[in-house]
Amino acid sequence: MPVGSSRIGRLVSLLSRRRVGLFLCVRMTNIRYLTGFSGSDGALLVSPDGATLVTDGRYAEQSRQEVCGAEVAITDRKWDEVLKAIRRLRPARIGYESRHLTVEIFRRLSRRMAEKWVALADPVEGLRMRKEEGEIRAMERAAVAASGALLAVLSKGYRGRTESEVAADLEREMKAQGAEDASFRAIVASGARGALPHAVPTGARIGPVDAVVIDFGARRGGYCSDETVTLLPERPLRGLGKAFDAVRKAQEAGIRAIRPGVPCVEVDAKVRESLDRSGYLKYFVHSTGHGVGLDVHERPSLSPRSKDRLREGMVVTVEPGVYLPGVGGVRLEDMVRVAGTRGERITYLPKTISRLV
């Protein structure tokens, strides 16, 4: 059976359990997951009788080549076409992605029939959590392009260059190594700026004794990689070496906790316990990790609030960090697949990379 139709089949059974006769999907990565369509605009209607992708003339040829398991309707009035389908199918309950449909479009579509519309958050994201072998392969290939790119950039020498130059070089090199693109804008944060978890690369030059946090990823076959290294100078400043060891231990504890059946909160707790033992917990200001797939951040989340459990086939990041205001930061991030009995890293750069380049 083609991929598109079996994934749509799983969605239809989920919708029938919610007694939803028609579902409107607008998140483009969900549409790609269900049909293979990689365009940037469209809406997908799914009912037990079939699926229809509504998109515009720019994508007529592309949708013909890519879409599997759904009809395609080409129109320059997407939402009118969606309303037409609703009138034709007359479903008693219409499900929608309340996390992604804008309030403006929702109001337009649900006028005079608001009671039929059922907010479903994002049911497709739940289906996307467990990856098929082909999806994991795509992420491994993305990770290989990203790691290869980083090694190529670092081996040319990075001290004395600006953060922006290193980031731009890294993104260029990822494409040269087979990536379609970077999966997000790379973070290159040197010195005290390493204490900003989401620092944007600047014109600052990377100094001879700066630690540098580099968080980067590539996209291949639509799938993302996401990985972080911290490069330490030979003699790290003011306790950053100790922070590095603490983060490394915490990351190992997190990865060791990964296996099918384990609640995501437990992996997060293991990382926090480890950082607590080393005295750095108060400097860890974000969650432990997240799922990766067609989006760089997707379910499940490894955080104290997560309700998900790990299941075989999931791919998650484990990325503890310690951020010392005014001093700098350390973050180490790997992607880990949940295999039959344990977690297996699918990003391979060694944590000692700063000694090797």
Q: How far is the CB of 335 from Zn ion (least distance, A)?
A: 8
Cα distances (angstroms) measured from residue 90 to each of 83, 84, 94, 109: 10, 10, 9, 14
147 is a contact residue toward Zn ion (CB under 5 A): no
Q: Which of 226, 268, 295, 308 binds Zn ion (CB under 5 A)?
A: 226
Q: Smallest Cα–Cα separation from 94: which of 68, 113, 112, 108?
A: 113
The C-alpha atoms of residue 285 and residue 122 are separated, in whole angstroms, by 27
User: By CB under 5 A, which span of 46-54, 86-94, 209-217, 262-270 interacts with Zn ion?
Assistant: 209-217
Alpha helices in the chain (DSSP H): 3-17, 28-35, 60-66, 78-89, 103-110, 123-128, 133-155, 163-176, 240-256, 264-278, 353-356
**Window 305-334: residues binding Zn ion (CB under 5 A):** 317, 333
81 is a contact residue toward Zn ion (CB under 5 A): no
135 is a contact residue toward Zn ion (CB under 5 A): no
| Closest to Zn ion by CB, 274 or 347 | 347
Q: How far is the CB of 156 from Zn ion (least distance, A)?
A: 23
- Around Cβ 109, how many Cβ atoms within 10 Å? 19
Q: Smallest Cα–Cα separation from 69: which of 25, 18, 26, 33?
A: 33
| Closest to Zn ion by CB, 205 or 297 | 297
Cα distances (angstroms) measured from residue 275 to each of 242, 247, 255, 270, 285: 11, 7, 14, 9, 12
Q: How far is the CB of 74 from Zn ion (least distance, A)?
A: 37
Long-range contacts formed by 242-246: CB under 8 A, 24+ apart: 242/278, 243/280, 243/283, 243/322, 243/324, 243/330, 244/211, 244/330, 245/278, 246/274, 246/275, 246/278, 246/279, 246/280, 246/322
**For residue 291, what are the contacts with CB-CB under 8 A and spacing of at least 6?**
129, 297, 298, 299, 300, 301, 314, 315, 316
| Closest to Zn ion by CB, 124 or 315 | 315
268 is a contact residue toward Zn ion (CB under 5 A): no
Please name every residue paired with 147 in a beta bridge, in sequence order, or none if there are none: none
| Closest to Zn ion by CB, 53 or 129 | 129
Nearest-Å Rg of the Cα atoms of the chain is: 22
298 is a contact residue toward Zn ion (CB under 5 A): no
Q: How far is the CB of 48 from Zn ion (least distance, A)?
A: 37
Q: How far is the CB of 194 from Zn ion (least distance, A)?
A: 14
| Closest to Zn ion by CB, 228 or 354 | 228
Q: How far is the CB of 147 from Zn ion (least distance, A)?
A: 13
215 is a contact residue toward Zn ion (CB under 5 A): yes
210 is a contact residue toward Zn ion (CB under 5 A): no
| Closest to Zn ion by CB, 97 or 334 | 334
Q: How far is the CB of 188 from Zn ion (least distance, A)?
A: 12
| Closest to Zn ion by CB, 38 or 230 | 230
The full length of the chain comes to 357
| Closest to Zn ion by CB, 109 or 296 | 296
Tell me how many residues contact Zn ion (CB under 5 A).
5
Q: How far is the CB of 119 from Zn ion (least distance, A)?
A: 28
Q: How far is the CB of 292 from Zn ion (least distance, A)?
A: 7
295 is a contact residue toward Zn ion (CB under 5 A): no
230 is a contact residue toward Zn ion (CB under 5 A): no
| Closest to Zn ion by CB, 177 or 317 | 317
Burial class of residue 102, CB neighbours in 10 A (0-12, 13-18, 19+): exposed
Residues that bind Zn ion (CB under 5 A): 215, 226, 228, 317, 333
